[in-house]
Amino acid sequence: MTKKDLKKYRLQLEQDRVRILDQLNFDKEQIKDLEKRDIGDIIDRAFNMYEKGRAIEMSEKEKRELAAIDEALLRIKKGTYGVCAICGSAINLDRLNAIPWAATCVNPSTCKKKRKLRRATTGS
Ligand SMILES: [Zn+2]
């Protein structure tokens, strides 16, 4: 990976981080709002519960993505960005373009084999 690539992914990660933080704040507000609105008939309440569940699910996903982005930014600092955390191969650039915070290459011939091995030895 070239310095230019690294810079591109760092910018992308920083943009994603801001976007996801915004979304997370929005979801938090929505959850609070739905809790306040927990009145009305059974249909209203069922709908509110559904909406709240969905917003909570979304915010959990966003928190996981934020953590993954922070880790990816740390890897850029350490100079290990784009290297698979499991097998040590370079992560395919197409994969990084789709998911800039990807930490593993999921290459079926190297990575998946190692992952399986690791699972076999740890027993999980
Ligand atoms: Zn790998």
Q: Above 70 in pLDDT, residue 117?
A: no
Which has more pLDDT, 118 or 37? 37
| Ligand 1 center–CA 50 separation, angstroms | 38
Q: Are 61 and 89 in a shared domain? A: no
Regarding whether 93 and 74 lie in a shared domain, the answer is: no
For residue 113, how far is its CA from the centre of ligand 1 (angstroms)?
Answer: 9
Cα(80) to ligand 1 centroid in Å equals 13
Cα-Cα-Cα-Cα torsion 34, 40, 41, 43, nearest 10 degrees, comes to -30
Domain containing 67 equals 1-81
Question: CB pairs under 8 A, 24+ apart, for 46-53?
Answer: none
Domain identity same for 23 and 51: yes
The pLDDT tens digits of the residues spanning 12-36 come to: 999 999 999 999 999 999 999 998 8
**Domains: count for the chain:** 2
Taking residues 34-45, what's their average pLDDT? 84
Distance CA(10)–CA(74), nearest Å, equals 10
| Ligand 1 mean position, distance from CA 21 (Å) | 28
Residue-wise pLDDT for 66-81, tens only, equals 999 999 999 999 999 9
